[in-house]
A and B are shown apart, each in its own frame.
Chain A
C-alpha cells in the first residue's frame, strides 16, 4: 500500500466502490430490461463481470485500508467488527425477505427491476462482509507468522485472484471445473485454518466474548449463504452475480476458519487459566529479575516475591518471616491472615528454635503437613544469601498436600531469582561504598603528603634532600627538619611499625610530638625520652616507632645523634673515603612505656668534615628483595654511597633509589614504605 498520508485512499476507494456498484446496478438493469423485452441491449455479460471484479477489488482496498489503520487494535475489537458487519449484512438480507413477504404476490413483489435492486444491495453487503472477514482471518492467521505460513497465505491469495477471473473461463456455469476449483480452494482454506496461535493469548473472559462474536459471524455467513443459494435456485433472475467461484470460495474460507476458531476457543476454555497462570508467572519472574536500583530497597523484591509465590501456588494465605539480624522491614508481611492465626500456625511449623544459618537441609523448599482445624498444608521456602537465611516464606493452603512438584519448582525459581536480585543490589551498594572509601583514602593521602616538609631547613654549609614512598595509599615513614638557631639544625627520620592507615595516624602523632618537643631545645637523648613518654600515651599496645635524630652544629662542625631502634645511619667520611653505619644503642619508642626507658637511649657527638655524607633511611630500603629473594641490605647501600659520594644529595638520592628499583626489578617487591634522606656537608661556615 502506498504510504502517502496526504491522499485519503480509504475514502477514494470507498467512493470508487460505490460508483462501480451503481454502474453495475445500471448495467444489469439495462440488461434485464433487454432480456425481458427481448431486445439486444448491446451490453455483453462480460461488462457485468468486469464491473463485479472491479467492485470486489475496491471493496478489498477499502477494508485493507481500514485494517492498516487499526492494525494495533486487539483481537476482540477486530472480531467484533467482523461480527457487526456480518449482522448488518444478514440483517439487511432478512429485512429484504420480510419486505418481500409483506409484498406477497402483489405487482411490486414480482417486479423484476425492484427485485434486482434488492439483490444488488444484498450482493454488495455480502461481498463487503466476506472480504472484510477474510482480511480479519488473514490478520489472525499471520499473528505469529513464520515463512511457511506466509507462503501458504500467498498461495491462497494467488488462487483467490485466479478465482476472481475464473468467471471469464467458466461463463458462470455450475460445472465440474467450478466444483474442482472450489474444492481446491476449500482444501487450502482448511489448511490455513489450523493457524490459531492467537487464541491462547485471550484470557477466560475474552474467550467467552470471542465465542459469541465467532458464533455471530458463523450465523451471518450461514444466513447469507442460504440466501445466495435460494437466489440461485429462484429462476426469476436472469443475472446471477453470486454463483461466482471467488465468492463461494470466500464463503468456504470464512466459514471454515470461523468454525475452527470457534471450536478451538471452546475447547481451550477449560485450560485457559493454566495459560494465564504461566503468563503471570513469566511476568512475575521478569519483575523479580529486574535488578533493583540503588535507591530502591530489598523489601520491594520480597513483596513481589511473596505475591508471586502465592499466585503460583494458589495459596490461601501466606507470610514472610524475616531474619531479625537483617534489619529488614516488609510493609505487609501477612497475606490474608491475621496475627493470632499466624502465631498459632507459626508454632505448628517452627516447633523448635529455628536457626538462621543455612545448612544444606534447610536450603530446599519444604512441604509440611499441618495439624490445624482450617489449614492443612504448608510450604516453607528459605531465601538464602551468602550462606545465611535472609527470610522464610510460608505458604499455607486449606487442602492437604496442596503443593505439587511444579509449584515447588516454579516457587524455587522465584526464590532463587529474588535472592540474586537482592545479592546484586547489595554488591552494587558495596561497590558504591568502596568507591567512596577510595575517595576518602585519596584525601588521606593528600593530607599525609602535606605532613612531610616540602622545604627542608638547612644553611649554606650543608645540602639536604629527602624522598619517601608508601606501599599503600598512606604510610608510616616520617622525616622533618627544624632550625633551632642560625647554627643549630635538627633532622629526624622516623618509621612507624606496620604500614597503611594505622601507621599513617601514628606518623601524624610523631610529627606533632617532634614539632612540640623540639621547640624546648632538648638534646637528642632527652628528646627521645620525652617522645617515648608522650607516645606511650597514644600508641596502640602493639605499635612502636623507631627514630633517628641529629642535632647539627655548623659552628663547631659536630653533630649529636641519638637512635631509638631505628636503622643505623650511614656516615660517609671524606677523609677516610669509606662509609660506615653509626652504631649506638637505643630502644624503639613505645616499647617500654615507663621511666626505665631512660636507661635504653644514649646520645653521642661526632665531628664531621667537609665532604662528609649522612644517609638516613628506613628499613623498606634494606628489605627490598630481588626475584631470587635476596635483600638489598646494608653492604649494597654502603658500596653505592662510597661509589657515588661525589654526587650532590638530590643526585645521590636518585642514584640510590634507581639502584634499589633496578635491584628489585620488575618481579621483585618492596612491600613496605621506604624513605631516604641525604645530607652533604659542603663547606665550612
Chain B
C-alpha cells in the first residue's frame, strides 16, 4: 500500500510517501514525480518519514530521474528515512548520488551546497 501526498512550500514541491513502495505501485511514484517535473519544479523534496519499505523497483524510479534532475537543474533531496530504508539506499550506493538527509530543515539548508 502506498499513498502519496503532494504539498508545496514556497518553491519546494514535497512528496510525502506513506506506506511501502514495491513493484506493484512504483508506477504511482513514477507518475507523481513526472507530474512535478513537468510542472517545472525547481526543488523536489521527498518526505520519507512514513516510508516503511522500498523495493528495488522503487529505487529504480528515483534512479531513472537522476539525469532528468541534473539536466533541468532541479534540486532533489530525500529526508526522514528510517534506518532500514536508509540502509537500502546506502547499500545500493544511491546515498552518493542523492542528498539523503535526516530532516526537512537540513534538506532546505543544504539547498545551496549541492
Q: Which A positions have Cβ atoms within 8 angstroms of B? A: 495, 497-500, 541-544, 546, 564-568, 585-588, 591-593, 600, 619, 631, 671-672
Cβ-neighbour of A585 out of B60, B67, B93 (below 8 A)? B93
Q: Are B96 and A587 in contact (CB under 8 A)?
A: yes
B1 at the interface (CB under 8 A from A): no
> Given A542-B64, A544-B63, A587–B92 Cβ distance below 8 Å?
yes
- B46 to chain A minimum Cβ distance, whole angstroms, is 16
Residues of B67-114 whose CB lies within 8 A of A:
67, 84, 91-94, 96-97
Whole-angstrom CA separation of A488 from B62 in the bound complex: 38
- A566 contacts across to B, CB distance below 8 A: 91
- What are 22 pairs between A and B in contact, CB < 8 Å? A497-B56, A497-B57, A497-B59, A497-B60, A498-B55, A541-B64, A542-B57, A542-B64, A544-B56, A544-B60, A544-B92, A546-B56, A585-B96, A587-B92, A587-B94, A588-B94, A591-B63, A591-B66, A591-B93, A593-B67, A600-B96, A619-B56
> Given A498-B56, A499-B23, A565–B30 Cβ distance below 8 Å?
no
5 residue pairs, one from A and one from B, having the closest CB atoms: A587-B93, A497-B56, A542-B64, A542-B60, A565-B92
Q: Are B23 and A591 in contact (CB under 8 A)?
A: no
Q: Are A498 and B60 in contact (CB under 8 A)?
A: yes
- B66 contacts across to A, CB distance below 8 A: 591-592
> Given A498-B23, A619-B56, A631-B84, A592–B64 Cβ distance below 8 Å?
no
- B94 contacts across to A, CB distance below 8 A: 587-588, 591
Q: Are B30 and A542 in contact (CB under 8 A)?
A: yes
- A592 contacts across to B, CB distance below 8 A: 66, 97
- A588 contacts across to B, CB distance below 8 A: 92-94
**11 extra A-B contacts, CB within 8 A, seeds A498-B60, A544-B92, A593-B67:** A498-B23, A499-B23, A542-B63, A565-B91, A585-B96, A586-B93, A587-B92, A587-B93, A588-B93, A592-B97, A600-B96
Whole-angstrom CA separation of A565 from B22 in the bound complex: 18
Cβ-neighbour of A543 out of B60, B67, B84 (below 8 A)? B60
Whole-angstrom CA separation of A432 from B91 in the bound complex: 44
Number of A-B contacts (CB under 8 A): 60
Residue of A nearest to B62 (CB): A542
> Given A542-B60, A544-B63, A587–B23 Cβ distance below 8 Å?
no
> Given A542-B64, A591-B63, A498–B57 Cβ distance below 8 Å?
yes
- Of B57, B67, B92, B94, which is in contact with the most chain A CB atoms at under 10 Å from its CB? B92
B61 at the interface (CB under 8 A from A): yes
- A586 contacts across to B, CB distance below 8 A: 93
Whole-angstrom CA separation of A423 from B101 in the bound complex: 55
- A500 contacts across to B, CB distance below 8 A: 23
Whole-angstrom CA separation of A543 from B63 in the bound complex: 8
- B67 contacts across to A, CB distance below 8 A: 593
Number of chain B interface residues as a range? 20 to 34
Q: Are A567 and B91 in contact (CB under 8 A)?
A: yes
- A546 contacts across to B, CB distance below 8 A: 56, 92
Cβ-neighbour of A591 out of B22, B91, B92 (below 8 A)? B92
- A260 to chain B minimum Cβ distance, whole angstroms, is 75
- A498 contacts across to B, CB distance below 8 A: 23, 55-57, 60
> Given A498-B23, A542-B61, A565-B91, A587–B56 Cβ distance below 8 Å?
no
- A593 contacts across to B, CB distance below 8 A: 67
Whole-angstrom CA separation of A593 from B67 in the bound complex: 9
Whole-angstrom CA separation of A20 from B96 in the bound complex: 122
Residue of A nearest to B23 (CB): A498
- B22 contacts across to A, CB distance below 8 A: 671
- A541 contacts across to B, CB distance below 8 A: 64
- B64 contacts across to A, CB distance below 8 A: 541-542
- A163 to chain B minimum Cβ distance, whole angstroms, is 88
Whole-angstrom CA separation of A542 from B64 in the bound complex: 5
- A629 to chain B minimum Cβ distance, whole angstroms, is 9
Residue of A nearest to B56 (CB): A497
Whole-angstrom CA separation of A98 from B94 in the bound complex: 124
Whole-angstrom CA separation of A546 from B63 in the bound complex: 13
Whole-angstrom CA separation of A498 from B24 in the bound complex: 10
Residue of A nearest to B93 (CB): A587
- A631 contacts across to B, CB distance below 8 A: 84
Q: Are B91 and A568 in contact (CB under 8 A)?
A: yes
Whole-angstrom CA separation of A498 from B67 in the bound complex: 21
Q: Are B93 and A600 in contact (CB under 8 A)?
A: yes
- B85 to chain A minimum Cβ distance, whole angstroms, is 11
Whole-angstrom CA separation of A566 from B91 in the bound complex: 7
- A546 to chain B minimum Cβ distance, whole angstroms, is 7
Q: Are B56 and A591 in contact (CB under 8 A)?
A: no
- B92 contacts across to A, CB distance below 8 A: 544, 546, 565, 587-588, 591
Q: Are A565 and B93 in contact (CB under 8 A)?
A: yes
Residue of B nearest to A496 (CB): B56
- A594 to chain B minimum Cβ distance, whole angstroms, is 9
Residue of A nearest to B59 (CB): A497
Residue of B nearest to A619 (CB): B56
Q: Are B97 and A591 in contact (CB under 8 A)?
A: yes
- Of A542, A546, A600, which is in contact with the most chain B CB atoms at under 10 Å from its CB? A542
Whole-angstrom CA separation of A488 from B10 in the bound complex: 59
- B84 contacts across to A, CB distance below 8 A: 631
Q: Are B56 and A495 in contact (CB under 8 A)?
A: yes
- A60 to chain B minimum Cβ distance, whole angstroms, is 83
Whole-angstrom CA separation of A500 from B56 in the bound complex: 13
- A494 to chain B minimum Cβ distance, whole angstroms, is 12
- Of A497, A587, A671, which is in contact with the most chain B CB atoms at under 10 Å from its CB? A497
Whole-angstrom CA separation of A366 from B60 in the bound complex: 53
- B81 to chain A minimum Cβ distance, whole angstroms, is 15
Residue of B nearest to A599 (CB): B96
- A672 to chain B minimum Cβ distance, whole angstroms, is 7
- B73 to chain A minimum Cβ distance, whole angstroms, is 18
Whole-angstrom CA separation of A372 from B47 in the bound complex: 67
- A587 contacts across to B, CB distance below 8 A: 92-94, 96-97
Whole-angstrom CA separation of A566 from B93 in the bound complex: 9
Whole-angstrom CA separation of A631 from B88 in the bound complex: 13
- B59 contacts across to A, CB distance below 8 A: 497, 544
- Of A565, A567, A591, A600, which is in contact with the most chain B CB atoms at under 10 Å from its CB? A591
Whole-angstrom CA separation of A341 from B60 in the bound complex: 60
- A543 contacts across to B, CB distance below 8 A: 60
- B57 contacts across to A, CB distance below 8 A: 497-498, 542
Whole-angstrom CA separation of A500 from B112 in the bound complex: 41
Residue of B nearest to A586 (CB): B93
- A499 contacts across to B, CB distance below 8 A: 23
- A544 contacts across to B, CB distance below 8 A: 56, 59-60, 63, 92
